[in-house]
Amino acid sequence: MCELCCIESLQILGEECIRETKKEKGNSITYSTRNNTQQSAQQFSIYNVDRNCYFISKNFLLTIQRRFQKRKMMMKGETWSQLGSLIATAMFLWAMFDKYFPYHLRGPIITYSKKLASFVYPYIQIKFQEFTGEYLKRNEAYTAIETYLSNKSSTEAKSLKAVVVRDSNQPVQLSMDENEEITDEFEGIKVWWAAMSITPRTQSNPFYPETEEKRYYKLTFHKSHREILCGRYINHVLQEGKAITVRNRQRKLCINNPSQNWGGYKSRKWSHVTFEHPASFDTLAMESKKKEEIIDDLIKFSQGKEYYAKIGKAWKRGYLLYGPPGTGKSSMIAAMANFMNYDIYDLELTTVKDNTELRRLLIETTSKSIIVIEDIDCSLDLTGQRKKKKEQVNDEEKKDPASKMAKGEEESNSKVTLSGLLNFIDGLWSACGGERIIVFTTNYVDKLDPALIRRGRMDKHIEMSYCGFEAFKVLAKNYLNIDSHPLFVTIGHLLEETNITPADVAENLMPKSLTDDAETCLEKLIEAIKTAKEEAIKKAEEEARLKAEKEEKEKQKTTQEDAKVDDESLAKEVKENGVEVVIEDKTLAKEK
């Protein structure tokens, strides 16, 4: 150290010597120009001496600098060697601490060491484990974070890994590999996300050693932003990750399995296929005003989470679709699912044994879904209105068992009651989950119990009626790609006079061969409407005739019953009069 100080002092001295020499050199030159020749010669000799001193000082300084740089490099090497020794010592002490130090004393030491480190390290770290709980269920937060960071990972991370995602439009999702770090920003605050993993020393499961690796995401941020990031930012990440999952998922069409198949390995209460129905409100044969009304209602429902919580109702909505067969009830459900981006659960009530199974099926449904019960008036005898008729049929089948076999009917062992179904759609169990739509369809709305379809359970009733002129124009655009035609006027008049379903109209508008053009299809439709009109007239006449015959039979039956009552009354009166005559004769005989 003393040698280093000496070298630095000599370096400073040498620099001062050079500066003085340069100064004297300049003065001597100026002085020589103002004096005589003899003095100039003397000054030039002095300048030569100074010049030699200058070069000697410069060489001396260069030598000192070289020695100083050499010494400095030696000191750097010593510093690195000392640092390496210090690190090795720290690693040795940590290994001894980890191996021999008592476990019950480690906790306080680690706790206090973290507190001390917090004074010099002003950052907070939050870990999100991949698996949590007793049965190592995959953490939903980890999945949401992985989805949220996938876009940033693909653009910022240098090392990526591909994750296969089931039931998604993007089956391969890129995420950052272990020990990678990316940055994110929220309300002007910078945070860091890192993917980490820990491999235990001993494998507890020798058959599946790869599952022992514990992966987690680590969030790091400055402690001054703790309140904002621990509250709003984490909720933002989870909600955005779930929203991305919903947008990328493949929508499903589910149907309930029989309860006897629920107990097997990997068995499920619902089976599903990918929902790919192309129906939309644009292609739906319906008046535009009614379609806009339904669309507005659906949008209002999807954005009403806070509103439903405010009024104290479960976040669900019921729709009743009723109308003749072929009026587009199933297409309406598909259009609703495509518009809302919802899954569909087609509930078959005949395979549900009792109310308990019905509730268990409801619990297994997810949010953002439509639960459909089609032809609910034919699913089960829930109202009791057909109970007497059923008992009468059962009595006939007991007398003639062969009639049941001839009909080929299958008995349903379902014990689902009206009370259980009402609790399913509007009771306490209906609040399990949120953002669900329940849809009932029926061809005969008058057969349903009023308690089942009242407002609050089936909030919106939608009549799917026969095809009108506006619905016809939608079908013509869909099938023939035309907006107008001279035959439209004729078809409009016929549709006002005749009831024909959109399904029948669509069938006649569809070209059946390569030679069929728009005019040919429209002419076929006109003939079909005329035929339907004639059949409707014949059917009305037949119904009128049958009604008249029925009324005549009832009138005759009433007349016969009245005559029978009169005869019975007369006979009873005669009998009573005869009894009275006999009694009077006996009384007179006694008096005599």
> Which token pair is 31?
């002085």
* Range 416-428 average pLDDT: 83
Q: Which residues pair with 320 in a beta bridge?
A: 440, 461
Contact call for residues 163 and 173 (beta carbons, < 8 A):
yes
* Range 380-403 average pLDDT: 51
Model pLDDT, residue 569: 67
Q: Indicate the SS3 state at residue 432.
A: coil
Please, which residues have CB within 8 angstroms of residue 137's CB and are 6 or more apart in sequence? 131
Q: For residue range 520-575, what is the model confidence (pLDDT) as tens digits?
A: 999 999 999 999 988 888 888 888 888 888 888 888 877 777 777 666 666 666 55
Angle formed at CA 574 by CA 570 and CA 576, multiple of 5 degrees = 115
Predicted confidence band at 389 (pLDDT cuts at 50, 70, 90)? very low
d(CA 485, CA 477): 11
List the helix and strand counts (H, then E) for the chain: 20, 15
Q: Does residue 39 register a pLDDT over 50? A: no
Predicted confidence band at 91 (pLDDT cuts at 50, 70, 90)? confident
Model pLDDT, residue 198: 81
Contact call for residues 368 and 252 (beta carbons, < 8 A):
no
Q: Indicate the SS3 state at residue 318.
A: strand
Q: Does residue 408 register a pLDDT over 50? A: no
> Which token pair is 143?
């999945």
Q: For residue range 455-514, what is the model confidence (pLDDT) as tens digits?
A: 888 999 999 999 999 999 999 999 999 999 999 999 999 999 889 999 999 999 999 888
Please, which residues have CB within 8 angstroms of residue 408's CB and are 6 or more apart in sequence? none
d(CA 97, CA 170): 48
d(CA 123, CA 209): 34
* CA-CA-CA-CA torsion sign (472, 477, 480, 486): positive
Q: Which residues pair with 196 in a beta bridge?
A: 216
For the stretch 424-428, contacts whose Cβ atoms lie closer than 8 Å and that sit 24 or more positions apart, written own/partner, are 424/355, 424/358, 424/359, 424/362, 425/318, 425/457, 426/318, 426/456, 426/457
Q: For residue range 273-325, what is the model confidence (pLDDT) as tens digits?
A: 989 899 999 999 999 999 999 999 999 999 999 999 999 888 999 999 999 99
Model pLDDT, residue 1: 47
Model pLDDT, residue 121: 82
Please, which residues have CB within 8 angstroms of residue 232's CB and are 6 or more apart in sequence? 186, 187
Predicted confidence band at 5 (pLDDT cuts at 50, 70, 90)? low
d(CA 455, CA 426): 11
Select from 219, 210, 237, 228 the least CA-distant residue to 143.
Answer: 237
Select from 448, 438, 442 the least CA-distant residue to 385.
Answer: 448
pTM over 0.75: no
Q: For residue range 109-130, what is the model confidence (pLDDT) as tens digits?
A: 777 777 777 777 888 999 998 8
Model pLDDT, residue 492: 92
Model pLDDT, residue 477: 93
Q: For residue range 395-407, what is the model confidence (pLDDT) as tens digits?
A: 555 555 444 444 4
* Range 328-336 average pLDDT: 95
Task: Round the CA-based radius of gyration of the chain to a whole number and report it.
Answer: 48
HSE-up of residue 270 (Cα within 13 Å, Cβ side): 20
HSE-up of residue 384 (Cα within 13 Å, Cβ side): 6
Contact call for residues 471 and 294 (beta carbons, < 8 A):
no
d(CA 111, CA 117): 10
Contact call for residues 165 and 171 (beta carbons, < 8 A):
yes
For the stretch 410-417, contacts whose Cβ atoms lie closer than 8 Å and that sit 24 or more positions apart, written own/partner, are 412/350, 412/380, 413/353, 414/349, 414/350, 414/351, 414/352, 414/353, 414/354, 414/380, 415/353, 415/354, 415/355, 416/349, 416/352, 416/353, 416/354, 416/355, 416/358, 416/380, 416/382, 417/355, 417/382
Model pLDDT, residue 339: 94
Q: Which residues pair with 127 in a beta bridge?
A: 218
Please, which residues have CB within 8 angstroms of residue 252's CB and are 6 or more apart in sequence? 167, 272, 273, 274, 275, 343, 344
Predicted confidence band at 379 (pLDDT cuts at 50, 70, 90)? confident
Contact call for residues 177 and 148 (beta carbons, < 8 A):
no
Judged on CB neighbours under 10 Å (0-12, 13-18, 19+), 392 is exposed
Q: Any idea what DSSP says for residue 139?
A: P
Predicted confidence band at 59 (pLDDT cuts at 50, 70, 90)? low
* CA-CA-CA-CA torsion sign (420, 421, 422, 427): positive
Q: Does residue 176 register a pLDDT over 80? A: yes
* Range 157-175 average pLDDT: 75
* Range 571-582 average pLDDT: 55
Model pLDDT, residue 25: 47
Q: Does residue 411 register a pLDDT over 80? A: no
The owner of tokens 């981006």 is 341
- Cα separations in angstroms, 126 against 56, 249, 440: 66, 29, 47
> Which token pair is 33?
């120009």
Helix runs in 249-386, H state only? 288-302, 305-311, 329-340, 355-363, 376-379
Q: What is the mean pLDDT of the chain?
A: 78
Q: Indicate the SS3 state at residue 439.
A: strand
Model pLDDT, residue 502: 93
Q: Which residues of 264-287 are buried (b: 16+ CB within 10 A; e: fewer)?
A: eeeeebbebeebeeebebeebbbe
Query: What percentage of the chain carries pLDDT values higher than 90?
Result: 30
Model pLDDT, residue 99: 77
Q: Indicate the SS3 state at residue 266.
A: coil
Q: CA-CA-CA-CA torsion for 227, 228, 229, 233, nearest 10 degrees?
A: 140
Model pLDDT, residue 47: 42
